[in-house]
Structure 1
Amino acid sequence: MLLHTPTLLLVLLLGFALLGVQLWLTRSATLPRRELRPVEWLCWSSMTGFGFFLARDWMPSSIASLLGMLALAAGVTCFTAAVFQHVLQRLPPRAYWVLLGLMALPVLGSLAADGAVRVSVSCLVLALLLLPPTWVALRHGWHNEVSFRIVGGTLCVTVLGLLWRTLDAWWHPADYQDGQQDSLRAGLTFLFAFMGLLGSAFGFLLASFERVAQKMRRLASVDGLTGCFNHNTTQALFAHSLERARRERLPMSLLMLDLDHFKQVNDRYGHPVGDHVLREVAEAVRRCLRASDVFGRLGGEEFAVILPTGDDAGTRVLAERIRTAIERTDMRSDTGQVFHVTVSIGMAVIGPQLVLTPNEALHWADKALYQAKSQGRNRVVVADPWMLNTTIAEVPS
């Protein structure tokens, strides 16, 4: 059985060409272009490199091998940059670029050697250049997107295939002299080495789509400005917590938070500073909460905190801690001026004896928030049962 290497070269050339066209067509799609552009360059460079390898019958073999190797090395370098950017959000370190420069010396030195030596040197250089992205993909990227594991696995296959091809060309030089390499063993080394690289590129594209899908799912449930749950998600989680507390006959608590005089902050310092204030307030609240607590933004400067197992005493302590944390947080204007904001909090402890719908419970806590506003702001007011029978008043801004 034989594996015709020129046929494999043609298949790889077409494979990288098809992937390159797909990446080119996604230029207008919602994809991380900064990461995918180097993968597109990998495709064009690999296609060019395999084209030079196919042209060895029409041009000097040493020149075709050199140009093909340089094109593949350029593509591998681009793919390395893509892996580092995707996983670590930065480019490869300076040492990698130094390694790239040093690797040019043995490649140039092998020009005058026979075909087996050129293959051996070229594959060893490519394997060394692929070691850093392989390490990053396995060490840091394995627990990112599930599909990124394809990248790590196929990079391992590529590196092992290149090393196998290096040793095979060294041990069986006769199979690597004319560039055809029709033996089964030589064909398998070529297949493992470069099909793995093509698989890594496809895996990277899948991981990019998966990352975009994750971001879209997150945007559907999270407020983009503060990182809290958005209004709809908070309402759904509150309904779930209320039903669970009723089923298990446990108390739960709800805090409604509204920043005091927030309109004055926007009017005086501008909306960008107002957005900064909302982010700082959200961070101050998060530092006070447990992992099981739910924190959401209901809209504007109004937030809610859901404590699935909150009793009266513990919730009072937490509410006061949140109020104090926000009051003590330094806010800064565009000019560096430090100012502070305060918050009014309405607190409702929903015991198992109270049968309330989610809307009724929210309105109950909202009435307590209205009382905190009307009593002077910057305070915590606990909802009393009598509030359940009063008309809901509008909370002043």
Structure 2
Amino acid sequence: MTAELPALLTALLLSLLVLVGVASAAVLTARLSLAGRRHGLFEWMTASVLAVGSLACLVALTRLTSTDQQVLVGLAGHGLFAGATAVWSMGLHRSARGVGWAGAEWWLVAAVLLALPVLTLGPVDAGVRALLLAACDVVLLIPGLWVLWRPVENAAQALGSARLLLPLIMLMRLAPAALALQTVVPLSSGWPGPVDPVVAALTLVALVTAMGWSLLLARLDLATRRIKDTASHDSLTGCLNRSTADALLEHQLLLARRSRESVALVLIDIDGFSVVNRRHGRRVGDLVLQTFAEVVRSRLRSSDVFCRLGGEEFAMVLPATDAPGARRLAEDVRAAVLAMEVITPGATVQISISAGLAIAAPDASTSLERLYERAEDALRRAKQYGSNRVEQASVEMVLVSG
């Protein structure tokens, strides 16, 4: 049974690596279908194949008796492992950032691959060689560590486990090689004896497996957040959609009744937007909508709600805002949009807006539907009076029974 233990451990290592590869492929394929992009899929699968090849070389080394064969197989194994580490780090970069490596990382890989034959074939002590080869692998992981610890939008919590596991993996890769130096330089009397390479590899792969699952869960978490954002936000402008804004407005009306404060609803329509689309094309029209949304958001408070109702129609919900305050803000937005310029290769596009304002007064129970009706009436008057203006609902309070 003792003689079979290394074989069992090796089989477990291979099984874990295959599991990581299959799990990576499955989850990242799902990620592909959601985002329409390959977030490191090719790199993750390639790294898994190279790692399996490296472990195969490790198994072969235990059965070879010829020194020349051991040197060649050892060089191949280290090369495959270094390649797997580099490709895995590259996939990590693409997965976290959506882009591949820059030139500096490629130079780093080239330097490590050139150093491998020198370290493997050169007249270097076995313990020192093991430490230097481990250091090469750790160096290849540095770009991945750098990517993980850089700020990633909406990902600090999701990547927390991965940020802790990757340094542990780097330490685990160095520790057995550092212990192997005892055969040359005694480090201290308290250090343990040489670590069994299969056990060390098993521990390392277990950590890599945990790291892989941590990253995959992080990607799923980010994908879930994006799906939720897509369900509640307009994908073009980043504004809330109609259903989400209506729910927030309903909530603000309830709060206003309790706190005895006014709530303002401002409906906005971009004047002549269909002409912009016909004259300049839909791509320019989309750019106009995006720029318009950015200009409006820059004028709002953090408590205000800005949504896209559809097409060129938008709405602002202004909590705790009376009629004069809402009109001032609406006029400020109108003036800012009028001064806005969208510069395209073919032309410079300028737009104007019309706005209709309605107030839910603190001493009235105002329904959502009635508030919309009053704001729409005011918007129609703004259009009738020549556009590029703000009109307020003639009836400021709407009383409903019950």
Normalising by structure 2, report the TM-score.
0.86
1:345 aligns with 2:387: no
Q: Which residue of 1 aligns with 2:20?
A: 19
Structure 1 CA distance for aligned equivalents of residues 273 and 77 of structure 2: 64
The answer to whether structure 1 residue 268 and structure 2 residue 279 are counterparts is: yes
Residues 84-93 or 335-344, more deviating: 84-93
Secondary structure of the equivalent of 1:47? helix
Q: What corresponds to 2:268 in structure 1? A: 257
Distance, in Å, in 2 between the alignment partners of 1:90 and 1:30 is 15
Query: What SS does the aligned partner of 1:137 have?
Result: helix
Alignment pair present for 1:98 and 2:107: yes
1:48 aligns to 2:58 (yes or no): no
Question: Quick check: 1:228–1:295 contact (8 Å CA) kept in 2?
Answer: yes
- Give yes or no for contact 1:49–1:72 (8 Å, CA) kept in 2: yes
Structure 1 SS opposite 2:120 = coil
Structural mapping, 1:208-219, within 5 Å: 208-219=219-230
Deviation string for 1:266-290 (max 9, x for gaps)? 2222222222221121111111111
Structure-2 residue corresponding to 1:380: 390
1:297 aligned residue: 308
Deviation at 1:2, TM superposition (A): 11
State the partner residue of 1:394: none
Q: What is the DSSP-based 3-state SS (H/G/I as helix, E as strand, rest coil) of the residue aligned with 1:110?
A: helix
1:117 positional shift:
4.4
- TM, length-normalised to structure 1: 0.87
Please state how far the C-alpha of 1:195 moved relative to its aligned partner.
Answer: 2.3
Superposed CA RMSD in Å reads 2.8
CA drift at 1:137: 1.3
The separation in 1 between residues aligned to 2:268 and 2:347, in whole angstroms, is: 25
- CA drift of 1:386 comes to 7.0
Percent identity for Structure 1 against Structure 2: 29
Structure 1 pair 276–289 and aligned structure 2 pair: CA distance change class (3 A): same
Alpha-carbon distance in 1 for matches of 2:363, 2:103: 66
CA distance in 1, matches of 2:153, 2:375: 45
What corresponds to 2:161 in structure 1? 150
Q: Which residue of 1 aligns with 2:376?
A: 366
CA displacement at 1:8 relative to structure 2: 3.5
**1:31-46 correspondence runs (5 A):** 31=32, 32-46=37-51
Tell me how far apart the structure 2 counterparts of residues 195 and 25 of structure 1 sit (CA, whole Å).
Answer: 19
Deviation at 1:58, TM superposition (A): 4.4
Pair 1:230-2:241 in alignment = yes
Q: Tell whether the 8 Å contact from 1:326 to 1:342 is kept in structure 2 after alignment.
A: yes
Instruction: Go from structure 1 to structure 2 and tell me whether the alpha carbon gap of 1:349 and 1:143 turns closer, same or farther (over 3 Å shift).
Output: closer
Contact preservation (8 Å) 1:238, 1:358: yes
Q: Any conservation in 1 of the 2:162–2:211 contact (CA below 8 Å)?
A: yes
Q: How many residue pairs are counted as aligned between the two chains?
A: 381
Q: Deviations over 1:146-202 (max 9, x none)?
A: 34222222211111111212211111479xxxxxxx966656543443322232222
Change (3 A) 1:185 1:22: closer
1:86 pairs with one of 74, 77, 95? 95
In structure 2, the CA distance between the partners of 1:12 and 1:196, relative to structure 1 (3 Å rule), is same
Q: CA deviation at 1:242?
A: 1.1
Moved more, 233-242 or 258-267: 258-267
Seen in structure 2, the aligned counterparts of structure 1 residues 192 and 18 have a Cα distance that, compared at 3 Å, is closer
Structure 1 CA distance, aligned partners of 2:176 and 2:203?
9
Whole-Å Cα distance in 2 between the matches of residues 243 and 336 of structure 1? Answer: 49
**Residue 359 of structure 1 aligns to which amino acid in structure 2?**
E
Gaps in structure 2 of 5+ consecutive residues: 186-192
Structure-2 change in CA distance of 1:6 and 1:277 (3 Å): same
Deviation for aligned residue 1:114? 6.3
